[in-house]
Chain A
């Protein structure tokens, strides 16, 4: 422990020197770059997506109705080498024709078009109506394929002004499409004709996407005061940077918000437990006697208490938000075994002549502890603190994974937990687990790299390793 010897040359004086030395380690630079990236990401997240908004959006299923369910991230294409369908949204817009009939109603029609150039079938088709009416109108919807065929999708009676038509669930349509395929190719096709495949596939034995300009025609009879609008959403299989989960939520929000939560939780807990442990350890070592005995016995008792079960117990009994978890973790970690190390260092430093000299010129205990002892034990404490951050980040994720985390906040652990309960791996949705795991590992690596470099600086013996 070279740094403890009072007469030993200091490797570098001041913060600047330490910083310069840290930067001489490539690993530390990498760690700092990652850390800066994570901090930037946190700041960006907090500024662009305010927390209440994020929480509300995360918890509502309505906000994401236009997103595909369980969609992979867009960059997954790089691995497939095919163009995967994005979500296409088309509104009815201008009426194509409007004819006044004898009974005073209007016969109205709309035609919409969209291009479909992807290599895979969409995941779902939903028509969102937005209308106002006196009598429930019947809407005839036709499908116009690029090859000119026209298929009646449905004669749909609007039940509510904001009715939705889930075409993918329409078994009748599915049956009609299957018959259509049979008649076109002369035998049963080799695949199950789902609505999406029936609408988007060529008439062939195997499903093949028919690319080109698709159209839809809406026909209905309306009263004069009636208004009808609709939005056709053809859901893709990929979405955004991070994909979506089973509730159509974009994972990117959870991943983004997970960053400041994980960072602040990890850093705060590490800082608090280290600082409090340092103070208690110093008091224990400095004053000795009864105080020391009491503190040491508490530490020993605390050491055999099972940390996780107690935490689980607490989170079962009390309303659990992030703050309560943080507090419980800090309280349970204050009397950690690290105190013994601090205490020994303090006892060692206490016996140095310079302490006695300071006592001889009248330094108070407070002054001795603050200015003479603590600066001496800081060198091993700071890297220890930084290295302890990933542990706390993992702890929070672990608790979230066990369903014991904050129920409102979107966190990495929660995403993994969701993935687990929805069988992400079983269904092949690796991105769902790997993305938050990647973020967790990134955070851990950043702090580990910096912590290791600092440790090597304050303890030069490690340089040889």
Chain B
């Protein structure tokens, strides 16, 4: 393992989806869902991927755990290039990563009991040989996510459990192989508000205890503060801003991040009559995104350069990167 404790490195990672135009045409175009993401995650750290629908955050998450094959760039996991792993190596990578999905009701095969659902990863990776040991592992995982007494839950079918309970089972399934990296794709957005915080607390506690690297995908900036050390703001397949979560929330630099923060409701009685200024328009189509800054058509502070050239990432402050021409000058300083 890396001496610096580095878990995951993404270098200019790209995921483009091929689409065919026309019936017999061989002409292909691409949906550039993730277009050049560079990022590093240390052992036991959590990072939030924040963005609106269609920003590519889910695609990025799925590409990282290799549910999608990247079209370009590299994924380095524990100093090993996993970008194009095949067969047995990929199976190893599957064991090292876990996934918690958005929809707990769809996350389980309805013909499997909870026990069987949790046993499946163990059966596939054959890490535990004996039946008794497998059962022990399953029960331990259920305890881990506080579904006790475990016997009450293990032999039920998914439809007998509530959304919150199912999401706990999903977390149990994601950690049962003792992975080092967990991708949580909007794990609480389909749950009742009352159980959201429980699930997030559980995830956070597990992450700290098991020293898991966690990629937390969300559209809700409010929960990132609670959950993650780092935050990445995504827009139209690009990372617009990345920094410590606290830093981003306290000092958002990119116009898009600011707009996002503005849109976050705050429980302040003075806000009741205030009209919030949000950028007009829609995110660009990703089939042929503008070659300029992708936020430029909506940006309130855009100037000439923004419409001509795509900005690189500027380090506006220490550890605070922004993909915006506004901060070009800070480079020179």
Q: Is A357 in contact with B99, judged by CB distance below 8 angstroms?
A: yes
Interchain nearest-CB distance for A5 vs B (Å): 8
Could you tell me if B170 and A13 are in contact, using CB atoms closer than 8 angstroms? Answer: no
Residue B197 interfacial (CB < 8 Å): no
When the two chains form their complex, are residues A376 and B106 in contact, meaning their CB atoms are under 8 A apart? no
- The verdict on A6 contacting chain B, using a C-beta distance below 8 Å, is yes
A13-B157, A361-B120, A361-B124 as given contacts; A6 in contact with B177, CB under 8 Å: no
Which among B90-98, B207-215, B221-229, B266-274 touches the partner chain?
B90-98
B173 vs chain A, min Cβ distance (A): 7
Contact status A361-B109, CB under 8 Å: no
Contact B125 A10 (CB under 8 A): no
- Contact at B65–A352, with CB atoms within 8 Å? no
- B178 to nearest A CB, angstroms? 12
Interchain CB contact under 8 A, B108 and A354: yes
**Which of B110, B125, B157 makes the CB contact (< 8 A) with A362?**
B125
Cβ–Cβ contact B67 & A360, under 8 A: yes
B105 within 8 A of A: yes
B121 at the interface (CB under 8 A from A): yes
CA distance A363 to B98 in the complex (A): 13
Residue of B nearest to A362 (CB): B94
Q: Taking CB as reference atom, which chain B residue is nearest A363?
A: B124
CB pair B97 A360 closer than 8 Å: yes
**Per-residue CB proximity of B295-322 to A under 8 Å, as 1/0?**
0000000000000000000000000000
Q: Which residues of A contact B67 (CB under 8 A)?
A: 356, 359-360
Judge whether A225 is part of the interface by a CB distance below 8 angstroms: no
Nearest-Cβ distance from residue B65 to partner chain A, whole angstroms:
6
* Complex interface bits, B82-114 against A, C-beta within 8 A gives 1, otherwise 0: 000000001100110111011101111111000
Task: State in angstroms the CA–CA spacing of A361 and B109 once bound together.
Answer: 14
Q: In the complex the two chains form, what is the Cα distance from A197 to B107 in whole Å?
A: 86
In the complex, what residues of B have CB within 8 A of residue A376's CB?
Answer: 109-111
A362 B124 Cβ-Cβ under 8 A:
yes
Q: Which residues of A contact B90 (CB under 8 A)?
A: 362
- Mark B277-299 against chain A: 1 for CB-CB distance below 8 A, else 0: 00000000000000000000000
Q: Is A7 an interface residue (CB 8 A)?
A: yes
Q: By the criterion CB–CB under 8 Å, are A361 and B106 in contact?
A: no
Most buried by A among B67, B94, B107: B107
Query: What bracket does the count of chain B residues touching chain A fall in?
Result: 20 to 34
- Sort chain A's interface into a size bin: 20 to 34
Q: A211 to B248, alpha carbons, bound, how many Å?
A: 118
Kindly state whether residue B159 has any CB partner on chain A within 8 Å: yes
Contact assessment for A10 and B103 in the assembled complex, using a CB-CB cutoff below 8 Å: no
Cβ of A8 < 8 Å from any Cβ of B? yes
Contacts of B157 in A (CB 8 A): 10, 13
B164 contacts chain A at the CB level, 8 A cutoff: no
Which residues of chain B come closer than 8 Å to A367, judged between CB atoms? 124
Residues of A within 8 A of B91 (CB): 362
State the Cβ distance, B101 to closest chain A Cβ, in Å: 5
A8 B173 Cβ-Cβ under 8 A:
no
Nearest residue in B to A353 (C-beta to C-beta)? B106
Chain A residues, CB < 8 A from B107: 353-354, 357
Minimal beta-carbon separation of A345 from chain B (angstroms):
14
A10/B173 in contact, CB under 8 A: no
Chain A residues contacting B170 (CB-CB under 8 Å) are: 357
In the complex, which residues of chain B have a beta carbon less than 8 angstroms from the beta carbon of A301? none
Choose among A352, A353, A357, A375 the residue that contacts B173 (Cβ–Cβ < 8 A). A357
CB-defined contacts of A353 to chain B, threshold 8 Å: 101-103, 106-107
Q: Is A309 an interface residue (CB 8 A)?
A: no
Is B158 an interface residue, CB under 8 A from the partner?
Answer: yes
Question: Which of B102, B110, B120, B124 contacts A7, CB < 8 Å?
Answer: B110
Q: Which residue of B lies closest to A372 (CB)?
A: B109
**CB of B175 to closest CB in A, whole Å:** 11
Interface string of A42-54 (1 = CB under 8 A from B): 0000000000000
A214 to B109, CA, bound (A): 82
Residues of B within 8 A of A9 (CB): 159
Are A7's CB and B98's CB within 8 A?
Answer: no
Task: Name B113's closest neighbour in chain A (CB-CB).
Answer: A13
Structural contact, A362 and B95, CB atoms closer than 8 A: yes
Q: What are 20 contact pairs spanning A and B, CB under 8 A?
A: A6-B110, A7-B106, A7-B158, A10-B110, A353-B106, A354-B109, A357-B99, A357-B107, A358-B120, A360-B94, A361-B99, A361-B125, A361-B173, A361-B174, A362-B90, A362-B95, A362-B121, A363-B120, A372-B109, A376-B111
Q: Nearest 5 pairs between A and B by C-beta?
A: A362-B94, A360-B99, A353-B106, A7-B105, A361-B121
What is the interface of chain A, defined by CB distance below 8 A to chain B? Answer: 6-10, 13, 352-354, 356-364, 367, 371-372, 375-376
